[in-house]
Every structure is written in C-alpha cells, then in structure tokens.
C-alpha cells in the first residue's frame, strides 16, 4: 500500500508529531510505503508533483519540533477548476497513491472530502487547528500550545499595563470561534474577554474600564480576531486570491483601541499576537495528542477506511465521517461552563 501524507492550512505546533506517528505506525505494519506531499495540496498541483519518501529515519527526532517538515499552504485549492482536479487526479495515478492522510482544519477537511468525491481517492483526516473549531472534536492538537503562548503574552502585557496605568488590548487568533480568546483570557486573568459569539456593547466595555480606572488603574482586554460590536462591524478582513478560505481576519484590536480612547482618561494600547500563537515547540499535551491522532489515522488506513476523520470525543480517540466535518465550524456555546464560570468570577464579555 502506498500512502500519501500532507499538511494543509496554517502551520500549527504538533504537525511533525502526527507525521512521525503516521509514518512509523504504517512502516511498523510492514506493508506500507509512505510518501510526504510537500506544501499541502499544492504538492499535487502544477506540472510535477512535489513528493518525497518518508522512512523511519526521516521522521525520527521531529516529535518536539514546531511547524511541519513537509511545508504547508493555505492557498492551494485542488478543486479550483476542472483542469486542476484532473491534474491532481493524474498525479495521484502516476504516484500510485492508495490513500491520502490529510492533516488540517475544517478547510482542509472540506477540500479532502471534495477531492474524494471528485476523483475517488480515499482520504483519512487528522484535525489540526489552534482555533479548536473543528466539528465533532472536543480538542484539536495545537490548541493547547496556542493557549499557553497567548496566556504568556497576556501576562507579560499585564506588567506593563500595571506600571503605566493603561488599558491594554490583546488580540488572539481564532477566526469566528472564540475558544482561544476564552481559555487564554481566563488563564491570564483578563478583565474583559470579547468573543466572536457574543456581540459586545462598546458602552459596557467603556464602563468596565472606567470602573478599573478608579480601582486598579489598569485593564486587560482579550479580544478574538472575529469579535464584533453590536450594531457595527469592526472586523478587519483581507481577501486572499485562489484560497478556499477567502477572507483573512486580523487587526480588530487596533480598531477597538480607536473606539475606546476618546471615552477614557487612561491611555489605550493594542497588541496583535498574530503568528506567535502558531509557532514554537508543542506542549507535552499536544505532542501526546498529536501522536495518538497520528496512530489512529494509520490504523484507519490499515483497516481500509475511507472518508473518516480522527477525533477526540468524551476523552476517547475515535473517528467521524469527514462529510460531517466539512464546511462546519465549532463555536463556543453561549451556555458553555467556561462562560458561566468567567461571568461568575466577574469577567466582562461586553454584553449587558
């Protein structure tokens, strides 16, 4: 059996741990050859496929490394047009691929599902995202590392906010899901957390900042990049050509700073953490979770499964139909226990 492995979408801590676990598990099985597809789906597009054989030594020593040894892309769309689809199909036949293991977020799963339908290539998915927004998966690898990084950033910002008596706004990634802002905000002791799922009222945020001006004399606001003001759209978007994810978010913290400053005596500053949240070595939790996901993906390949994505539900590793994940995003429920807990300890979500 010849199995292809690729990483799609944005980079994420733990990708190499998955590649390692998939490759070693398949080699250990004894009847599998593993090919690494470079730069996501782009490696199967163009005139010549970009692939390399992955042996035992090729994936040794990469467990703890961030990023991906295969490279990735969030703009490669194998379903862009019929010519591209047929080009990919030709490369798959020429390489003799029996199955493709795709490691990525909901966008990558959607592409893999579509590719399987169009050219009949069996695909197995492994959920990857720092946003933790993949449907039917309670925890994706990379998220724990991103929370730790964002929390560290918020804690460092607090020391300068305290010293200068400022309102400090810290923007996290997460797109239209607020998991990263919510967990890092709680972990860092943020005073205000603004999520994409809860439209905020500017006057409520102003009032909380004014209250803290009289007491602690500084305020920490953690805002998810997809957060929205009620009755206004602060979201900063960038269009991406040829991408299955046509809009890139980022910069809402700077817009909020401009909106807040006229109402406050304190100086308001904004920090966008950006790609810091994607980089660095994965935490031990993410290394273990990524290894478990990779091993389960290899098992599904050996079992002859197709169209399944590895998942974590109720603490157990399992799988779900890729079709149930494609084009679906997992957002924070408004009655989630973390939101209830945060409200009860006095954290403001900007709503009344």
pLDDT in tens, 14-46: 999 999 999 999 999 888 999 999 999 999 998
Q: What is the mean pLDDT of residues 291-314?
A: 95
Q: Can you tell me which residue has the tokens 């799609």?
A: 8
Q: What is the mean pLDDT of residues 163-178?
A: 92
Q: Can you tell me which residue has the tokens 């949240």?
A: 277
| Higher-scoring residue by pLDDT: 235, 117 | 117
Number of structural domains the chain divides into? 2
Residue 299 known to bind ligand: no
Q: Residues with Cβ < 8 Å from 47, sequence gap 6 or more?
A: none
Predicted confidence (pLDDT) per residue in 241-282, tens digit: 555 555 667 789 999 999 999 999 999 999 999 888 888 899
> Is there a single domain that holds both residue 134 and residue 236?
no
Whole-number mean pLDDT of the chain?
91
* pLDDT given at position 233: 65
* pLDDT given at position 234: 60
Residue 352 known to bind ligand: no
Residue (of 136, 125, 123, 126) closest to 306 by Cα position: 123
* Catalytic positions: 131
pLDDT at 323 over 70: yes
Q: What percent of the chain has pLDDT over 70?
A: 95
Residue 173 known to bind ligand: yes
> Is there a single domain that holds both residue 74 and residue 118?
yes
> Is there a single domain that holds both residue 101 and residue 6?
yes
> Is there a single domain that holds both residue 34 and residue 107?
yes
> Is there a single domain that holds both residue 162 and residue 250?
yes
Spatial distance between the Cα atoms of 322 and 328, rounded to a whole number of angstroms: 10
* pLDDT given at position 230: 86
Give the model's confidence band at 327: pLDDT under 50 very low, under 70 low, under 90 confident, else very high.
Answer: confident
List the domain range (segments joined by +) for residue 242: 146-279
Give the model's confidence band at 215: pLDDT under 50 very low, under 70 low, under 90 confident, else very high.
Answer: confident
């Amino acid at each position: 059996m010849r199995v292809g492995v690729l990483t799609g979408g944005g980079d994420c801590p733990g990708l190499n741990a998955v590649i390692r676990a998939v490759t070693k598990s398949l080699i250990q099985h004894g009847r599998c050859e593993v090919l690494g597809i470079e730069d996501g789906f782009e490696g199967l597009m163009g005139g010549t496929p970009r692939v390399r054989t992955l042996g035992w030594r090729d994936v040794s020593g990469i467990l703890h490394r961030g990023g991906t040894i295969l490279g990735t892309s969030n703009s490669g769309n194998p379903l862009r047009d019929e010519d591209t689809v047929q080009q990919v199909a030709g490369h798959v036949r020429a390489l003799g691929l029996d199955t493709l293991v795709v490691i990525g977020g909901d966008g990558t799963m959607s592409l893999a599902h579509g590719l399987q339908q169009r050219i009949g290539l069996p695909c197995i998915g492994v959920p990857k995202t720092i946003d933790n927004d993949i449907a039917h998966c309670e925890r994706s690898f990379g998220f724990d590392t991103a929370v730790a990084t964002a929390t560290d950033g918020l804690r460092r910002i607090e020391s300068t906010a305290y010293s200068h008596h400022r309102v400090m706004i810290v923007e996290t990634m997460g797109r239209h899901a607020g998991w990263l802002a919510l967990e890092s905000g709680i972990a860092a002791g943020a005073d205000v957390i603004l999520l994409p799922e809860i439209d905020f009222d500017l006057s409520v945020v102003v009032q909380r900042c004014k209250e803290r001006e009289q007491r602690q004399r500084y305020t920490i606001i953690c805002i998810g990049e997809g957060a929205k003001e009620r009755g206004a759209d602060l979201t900063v978007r960038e269009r991406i050509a040829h991408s299955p994810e046509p809009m890139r978010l980022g910069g809402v913290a700077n817009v909020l700073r401009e909106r807040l400053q006229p109402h406050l005596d304190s100086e308001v500053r904004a920090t966008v953490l950006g790609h810091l949240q994607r980089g660095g070595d994965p935490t031990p939790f993410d290394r273990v979770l990524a290894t478990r996901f990779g091993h389960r993906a290899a098992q599904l390949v050996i079992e002859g499964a197709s169209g399944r994505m590895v998942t974590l539900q109720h603490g157990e590793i399992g799988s779900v139909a890729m079709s149930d994940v494609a084009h679906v995003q997992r957002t924070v429920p408004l009655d989630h226990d973390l939101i209830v807990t945060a409200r009860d300890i006095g954290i403001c979500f900007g709503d009344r």
